[in-house]
Structure 1
Amino acid sequence: MNYIKNQNLASIFFLMFISQYGYADDISEQALPTVTVKQKRLTRSDNLLKGRKTSDRVIKGEQFRSRGSTIGEALNQELGIHANSFGAGASAPIIRGQEGKRIRVLHNHAETGDMSNMSPDHAVMVDSILAKQIEVLRGTPTLLYSSGNSAGVVNVIDNKIPTKLPEKGYEGEVGARVSSANLEKLTAGGITFGLGKNFAVHAEGMYQKADNYRVPYFSYGGQTHKRVPDTWAKSRNGSLGFSWLGERGYLGAAYSERQDRYGLPAHTHKYDNYSIDILWESRRIMKRYLRYYPFLADESDIDFENPGLSLNHTHIPGESHADEAHDHTHGRAWIDLKSKRYDLRGELKQPFKGFDLLRTSISYTDYRHDEKDGKTTENFFKNKGYNARLEFVHKPIGNWQGMFGVQHNTQKSSAFSPASQVAPKGAQQLLHDNRSTQTALFGIEQYQGDKHGFEVGFRAEKQKITIDYDIDLIKENNSFNFPLPNLNPHKEKAYSFAASYNWYFAPKHQLSITASHLERIPNSQELYAHGKHIATNSFEVGNKDLTKERSNNFEIGVKYSGSKWDYNVNAYYNRFSNYIYLLTMNDGRGPKSLDEEFPLQVNRYYQAGARFYGLEAAVGYRFNPKYKLTIFGDYVNGKLVNIPKTGAEYDWWDEVVTKWREHPDRPTPRLPPLRLGMRLDMNFNDKWQASLDFHRMFSQNKTSYLEQPTKGHNMLNADLSYQNKYKGLDYKIYGKADNLLNAKVYRHATFLPYIPQTGRNFTAGVNIRF
């Protein structure tokens, strides 16, 4: 059946208007406290929950006990959010077509300290299974934590540091579940003890083991599979925290440790002995230091006429690069990840005159993961960093209340290949040792009246990225006294502003409008990366001349919550200048250009304009206290515009461009397709609940350069749960059936759109609270 293949935008918007904001909105309306118009004071999480905009989402932690264990899969059921999954071990959220560096995932309002923004096969260091709640926030509140996140911020709240004494002296939760498609076994639990009147201790942990997941049969690498190779995953983590709690606040600390091991599907060794070759031969002679620091190349050093890959092996004349003689013995590809984290947090009420609350948080993360080839380490990634925040909540001034603060981050990161057979000594490194420091000043003010609410916020950031160069080495490898490159640290400032307006124009009705100007400074990867990145099927080249990214953003939403009907509709538009993207350089007809046998891309970071717009909408109808039907949908469109010209033909003698290549506007990569569906919630009584969910993920034919269209699919899911009490224990037994139609599911929004997702899967589990 052909589903809306050429439907125009107006008809899509009409269909979207009759849909509901979907999964999380039901949760936020039914499971969370009612939004209050007046509030006594601005507190950290309450600040973000009360008076929130129509597009903000708050999901209670208990909803994630039966969902995927990665943050991307856990949020994939929320409208406007898709998962950029890479096998079973790594999955990050895509929100409104934005991913990676434009989506900030926080751990208790602080940086995660991982390297997930660098590649889709890097896991995000947050635990949705153990979360107390997860907030998806947009607009003004995002400026409390970062700049340039036009699509929003994901904030994962947990109980690692106790903030109150348990009422009975102790409280906790344990759970376990098993799944059929990947033979998953997962156990998790946490407990908090009160020690006297002022101390509390919390301990928690999780263990997960899953095999390669089952799919409807598919062909890959000349073989037919019913399980996707290298999609297994193992994870274990634990945390121990304690707090001193008094009448005026608390001070607590926690230590967390995590280890993940998971396979990397679709890994290839075809390019193990290749390196990037994009420079003029004469520049390689004059600037021999580019062998050690290739990211120091200027635009005039790049050979746009014939960029590509060069083979490091010495081959017999006429021998194919793909010859079996050079296919060294390899094992399976997998990641071995370890992370240690230390947290210190505290609050003090009435710290001094004019202020209601003082908050502080300090965290240190020691992160490393190795990309393994069997037992051999191909690459290792390291990141060590501090994050510190100090916040002041001032006393209300009339109907105005707010907070301001300062934040400082320091990170030392790198991505290297050790000397080995698969990564010869002297091979190009993906990211040299670098140190990034960032200092920010932020603030937010809220006005709340009976029918009107205003919110304004700002954030000013200053960033400095330093690389320790070997100056003597550079001078020794600089011929003919060629002018030395700029070796100073990369410094830049960013200023972001946002304003929101909420109008409660009728009982149970709300209109929200948000406008913002956001700026994002390029990170070390975008500036200095230079090496092989098999996860993205590319060699990646940084650009030290990048400048900050700017966006002007607008969003409008309307919401109604009645006893029978409810609806929630949100539309948005994002206009970027200096949008940082990857341009494929080796797509010409030169000897080093990509072809069907060697399709690996050489991508360099450049900047252009970009436009994103979309709609998320929902309508729900409650037939009676037992049954509610929700129709929902989301749509996003993104396009790169005004892409700069690149050189096409050159004067070889003078090395100047004689002909320029135009780049037409094109869709942004990995654009999520249209999604429409319906959900029936059934609350038979206070013990039995069930739901049935069906949605259509449409085909995606709006493809970016070198992308292929992705077929759509139908998804049918169901769940049933029973909850009760037994001798002081609250327990819940549940069963889930995902992909009941056993559809072959391909996700266009991932870097592996040709690898199917999990087939029919049954999950059974139990959670106990005490």
Structure 2
Amino acid sequence: MLRRLLLASVALIATPAHANDVPAPANTDMPAAPAAAAPADQDHQQPTQEVVVTGARPRATADVLGGTAVLSGEDLTRELRSTIGETLARQPGVSATSFGPNASRPVLRGFTGDRARLLTDGIGTIDVSNTSADHATAINPLTADRIEILRGPTALLFSPSAIGGVVNVIDSRIPRHLPEEPVHVDAIARYGSAADERSVAGVLNVPLGDRIVAHADGSYLKTGDLRTGGYLYARDVREHAAEHAAEDNNPELLEEANVRGRLRNSAAETWDVAGGLSLITDTGSLGFAVSHYESLYGVPARFEIHHDHDHDHEGDAGHEEEGHDHSNVRLNLKQTRFDLRGEVETGGGVLDRIRLRAAAAEYRHDELESDGSIGTSFFNKGMEGRVELVQAPSGAWEGVTGAQISSRRFQVIGEEKFLPRTQSSQYGLFTLQSLDFGPLKAEAALRYERNELTAAADTDLGSPTYRRSFDSVSGSLGASYALADGLRLGLNASRSERAPAPEELFSNGPHAGTQVFEIGNPDFTTEKAWGLEATLKGSGDGWNFSTSAYYNWFSDYIFDTPTGKTQDELPVFQYLQADARYYGFEAQGSVRLGRVGGFALNADALADYVHAEVVDGGAVPRIPPLRLLGGLEAQSDRFNARVEVEHSFEQDRVATFETATPGFTLVNASLAWKPWGAASNTSLILSANNLFDVEARRHTSALKDYAPLAGRDFRATLRVQI
């Protein structure tokens, strides 16, 4: 299929400036820096409305239905972490799975997996990060130019089931513009003290004549074990260990449970490299990139207590095995990927342009035991392609219509195999239509998708051959109205339908990442959800804000819950379907307080909250609590100083198999210096995170009781662009 797409795309030639992109400065192939980088002598300097480039056309965030967030420029450089989850964790409505410092996906409004899709420039990651929290995603934030979080009708362009939203990571691996310099270089180097983190990344674009651009990029990251604040294990774990230490007369167990400092087996080494070519003319572009990504990282172990009343611990060098699992499992991840993008202006009166985007990848990761042997291997081979027909504007009306196809072959081999070999295919048709009457703007999106899944007969799991197919229809309709100049009220209604994932249908075995024995149900039907979201966004001279409130109700919601039984010494969790409810809000804003000398003073604040429950079944697990974040910035054309305080409240509304998570407060500070002024993208950022070295745990993490967040962390980030 990918070869057919490649052959079909040879005729495609598109405009030098991709319609999905913010126009870049003349001297760079990167997206334009955010407006907040304006010189200090301009009164409007403040965090201003960003531009969303994903969709039919670039739009200001105020004009996008649904809560949105954009991370780019200096903000992205400051927030960069080794995982996409931690990089986005301070955005409104976003938390992270935080399965140790190396495997962390975004959690959007309490959703993850298929309900919160991750994209690389509009195409899926083609990895297995959605099958388990310990599986890292094959996205490297170091190579990102900008990251957008989308909700509302636009999200239906990419997924029928992204209730929480869509994360689109946009990079420049397939150049969109002809750089004016003979050689364009963008490089970044970072150091973080908490994990002795060292990373470098570089992007090189070289014009070959007046139509072809050659691209190369690469990155390298190495960390030690993460230093945490406070105790390594949560209070419930320590109290449980104290009880058994007294029963077994084992003081060393108590000592082990009260350990502080480094999070053992959390070191990592990651690198990737990519190269490609783009043909760019006055009427079009066509480009490709080939990339390879590798990561070797440890998975922090849970604290386990094994009873052995007859064992004499005294003098036994191996006594720690009774209090802690020293298996030191590491994951060795490899992915090779091919990406293709093309676009052509049609010059016609009906279509403005045609876009093509495709990718194919081979993925494998091995779960290595403490002796280096392979315990379990995961294989994934997939492709995804999409074609978009962008309509020519007709008065107030414009839109985009397209088709998408993807396929995946997934297999698990080894002692912890919990899924049979599966093959899945998706075929989708979608459209997004919008009307712009100035004060009144309206949008409607519709998506049809067919999913076909096959699970091969597996004698190890005792599974027969299953074949299931699902047809789903999802839609969204909304409008916004300008109540006054710079003040817009929006309302969006949606109906989404999601086909069950293979692991929800066919699981039947021990899952090491979640430490449970999972059992799926091959007879599941599609998951349906209705949603309402209201937004109020405003901006003016020296201020802006954005708020959203949402309510989603599900029928045939898919979730897993303990059965009370054990198998293979693991608790058995069974996937079920029931009704469910999610609701919450997000709010953020900024205001200019005044000026001191050459600095503009701005204050900003953020709040978000999610409530989720299974009807007649109690709380949904791993839902983030209420969070508040406030910051104060002093900005000039060369310096930007910021201090912020983030408070996460206690989460005591928990599922039956969860423990409550105490609240915590983090204080962070940063200083950014642009030696050649705001117009330059060269900067040095010094930051200090978790200044008071507090013990912090995210309730969204399945490992929260065993793997807290980083302690005090001093970071230095140098970015150079020439």
TM-score w.r.t. structure 1 length?
Answer: 0.79
Deviation string, structure 1 residues 544-599 (Cα, Å, up to 9, x no partner):
01111000001001111122333322111010111100021126xxxx589xxx6x
2: distance between equivalents of 1:624 and 1:32? 16
**Which residue identity does 1:665 align to in structure 2?**
G
Equivalent position of 1:350 in the other structure: 346
Q: Judge which range, 630-639 or 510-519, deviates more.
A: 630-639
Q: Say whether 1:242 aligns with 2:277.
A: yes
1: distance between equivalents of 2:60 and 2:385? 20
Q: 1:260 to 1:44 in 2, by over 3 A?
A: farther
SS at match of 1:703: coil
Q: Say whether 1:462 aligns with 2:459.
A: no
Q: 1:49 to 1:621 in 2, by over 3 A?
A: closer
**Which residue identity does 2:602 align to in structure 1?**
K
Equivalent position of 2:685 in the other structure: 734
Deviation string, structure 1 residues 470-519 (Cα, Å, up to 9, x no partner):
7xx89xx99xxxxxx98451111110000121212211111111110000
Q: 1:618 to 1:61 in 2, by over 3 A?
A: closer
Within a 5 Å distance, the mapping from 1:571-610 to structure 2 comes to: 571-586=549-564, 592=566, 600-610=570-580
Q: 1:35 to 1:330 in 2, by over 3 A?
A: closer
SS at match of 2:662: coil
Equivalent position of 2:244 in the other structure: none
Q: Say whether 1:388 aligns with 2:385.
A: yes
Within a 5 Å distance, the mapping from 1:567-716 to structure 2 comes to: 567-586=545-564, 592=566, 600-625=570-595, 626-641=600-615, 664-683=616-635, 685-716=636-667
Deviation string, structure 1 residues 405-439 (Cα, Å, up to 9, x no partner):
1111010001221xxxxx3xxxx621111110110
Within a 5 Å distance, the mapping from 1:310-349 to structure 2 comes to: 331-349=327-345
Q: Say whether 1:450 aligns with 2:428.
A: no
Q: Say whether 1:762 aligns with 2:714.
A: yes
Q: 1:432 to 1:35 in 2, by over 3 A?
A: closer
SS at match of 2:392: strand
**Which residue identity does 2:623 align to in structure 1?**
L
SS at match of 2:421: strand
2: distance between equivalents of 1:129 and 1:507? 38
1: distance between equivalents of 2:54 and 2:82? 32
Within a 5 Å distance, the mapping from 1:258-657 to structure 2 comes to: 258-267=293-302, 331-350=327-346, 354-374=350-370, 375-417=372-414, 423=415, 429-469=417-457, 487-586=465-564, 592=566, 600-625=570-595, 626-641=600-615
Q: 1:256 to 1:229 in 2, by over 3 A?
A: same
Q: What's the CA shift for 1:170?
A: 3.0
Deviation string, structure 1 residues 578-632 (Cα, Å, up to 9, x no partner):
1100021126xxxx589xxx6x421111101110111111343211251111232
**Which residue identity does 2:63 align to in structure 1?**
G
8 Å CA contact 2:50, 2:61 repeated in 1: no
2: distance between equivalents of 1:347 and 1:464? 30
SS at match of 1:501: strand
1: distance between equivalents of 2:180 and 2:188? 22
Deviation string, structure 1 residues 278-331 (Cα, Å, up to 9, x no partner):
xxxxxxxxxxxxxxxxxxxxxxxxxxxxxxxxxxxxxxxx99xxx99x999975
Query: Out of 106, 110, 131, which is 2:123 matched to?
Result: 110
8 Å CA contact 1:61, 1:129 repeated in 2: no
> What is the percent sequence identity of the aligned residues?
31
Q: 1:259 to 1:267 in 2, by over 3 A?
A: farther
Q: What's the CA shift for 1:54?
A: 5.8
8 Å CA contact 1:54, 1:568 repeated in 2: no
Q: What's the CA shift for 1:233?
A: 1.4
Equivalent position of 1:276 in the other structure: none
8 Å CA contact 1:213, 1:232 repeated in 2: yes
Q: Which runs of 5 or more structure 2 residues have no equivalent in the other structure? A: 1-33, 39-44, 234-252, 312-317
Within a 5 Å distance, the mapping from 1:85-100 to structure 2 comes to: 85-100=98-113
8 Å CA contact 2:231, 2:261 repeated in 1: yes
Q: Which runs of 5 or more structure 1 residues have no equivalent in the other structure? A: 1-23, 272-317, 418-422, 479-484, 642-663
Aligned CA-pair RMSD: 3.1
1: distance between equivalents of 2:189 and 2:610? 37
8 Å CA contact 2:302, 2:703 repeated in 1: no
8 Å CA contact 1:351, 1:358 repeated in 2: no
Equivalent position of 1:57 in the other structure: 69
Q: What's the CA shift for 1:88?
A: 1.6
Q: 1:34 to 1:367 in 2, by over 3 A?
A: closer
8 Å CA contact 2:530, 2:552 repeated in 1: yes
1: distance between equivalents of 2:336 and 2:206? 23
8 Å CA contact 2:455, 2:506 repeated in 1: no
2: distance between equivalents of 1:164 and 1:143? 28
Deviation string, structure 1 residues 365-409 (Cα, Å, up to 9, x no partner):
100101111211111111000111111112223311111111110
1: distance between equivalents of 2:75 and 2:419? 38
Pairs aligned (count): 645
2: distance between equivalents of 1:26 and 1:556? 27
SS at match of 1:535: coil
Q: What's the CA shift for 1:266?
A: 1.5
TM-score w.r.t. structure 2 length?
Answer: 0.84
2: distance between equivalents of 1:134 and 1:703? 31
1: distance between equivalents of 2:149 and 2:680? 31
Q: 1:760 to 1:34 in 2, by over 3 A?
A: closer
Q: Which runs of 4+ in 1 moved over 3 A?
A: 24-36, 41-45, 47-50, 219-222, 267-271, 326-331, 485-488
